């Protein structure tokens, strides 16, 4: 399975592609889609959409895992993140990808073992889990890789639960 992790952002959207099975996985590639805050927000959404569409076309993932919306102190920021997330969910549906959403706390708990982990702790664990020489930077890309890794750890359980439910019917 090949998973595209997305850390949504209107100025810097992180993406990371990881492939493997179960809890054995390896890095394919990672990066960011950057937009200037001086550009109209609608153009930033378009740039994120087109940038991630190019990543999907290049790496042909089977699934997209994305960070769930979370409460932010600044309502405007939360709304913009929601709009970026919506564009990414639409894109995944259009491309026929399986979609999984994970809370920031679950992602950190899965990758670091602590739901309140800090950015540098997530980056270091992503480096270790993927066997990289250097910490993936910027942190937006490392977060996207963590989201993809989280999917590997949780998708197997979800598949087993669905299979069990089908068998019991």
pLDDT by residue (tens digit) across 74-109? Answer: 788 888 999 999 999 999 999 999 999 999 999 999
Task: Label residue 156 by pLDDT band (50, 70, 90).
Answer: low
Helix (H) or strand (E) holding 158: helix 139-168
Distances (CA, A) of 58 to 12, 55, 68: 20, 5, 25
Which position among 50, 67, 68, 93 bears the catalytic label? Answer: 67
Please pick, among 29, 124, 140, 143, the residue that the annotation labels catalytic: 140
- 0.75 surpassed by pTM: yes
Residues with Cβ < 8 Å from 106, sequence gap 6 or more? 115, 150, 154
The yes-or-no answer on residue 140 being catalytic is yes
**Choosing from 7, 98, 101, 124, which is the catalytic residue?**
7
The CATH topology of domain 2-168 is Nucleotidyltransferase; domain 5 (3.30.420)
Give domain limits for the chain.
Answer: 2-168
Asked if omega into 27 is within 30° of 0 (cis), the reply is no
Q: In the annotation, is 7 catalytic?
A: yes
């Amino acid at each position: 399975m090949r998973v595209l992790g997305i850390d949504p952002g209107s100025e810097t959207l992180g993406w990371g592609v990881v492939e493997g099975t179960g809890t054995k996985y390896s890095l394919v590639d990672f990066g960011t889609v950057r937009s200037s805050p001086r550009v109209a927000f609608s153009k930033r959404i378009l740039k994120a959409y087109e940038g991630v569409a190019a990543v999907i076309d290049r790496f042909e993932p089977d699934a997209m895992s994305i960070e769930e919306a979370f409460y932010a102190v600044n309502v405007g920021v939360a709304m913009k993140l929601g709009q970026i997330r919506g564009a990414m969910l639409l894109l995944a549906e259009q491309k026929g990808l399986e979609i999984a959403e994970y809370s920031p706390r679950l992602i950190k708990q899965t990758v670091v073992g602590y739901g309140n982990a800090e950015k540098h702790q997530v980056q270091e664990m992503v480096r270790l889990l993927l066997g990289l020489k250097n910490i993936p930077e910027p942190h937006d890309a490392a977060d996207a890789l963590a989201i993809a890794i989280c999917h590997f750890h949780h998708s197997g359980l979800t598949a087993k639960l669905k299979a069990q439910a089908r068998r019991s019917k």
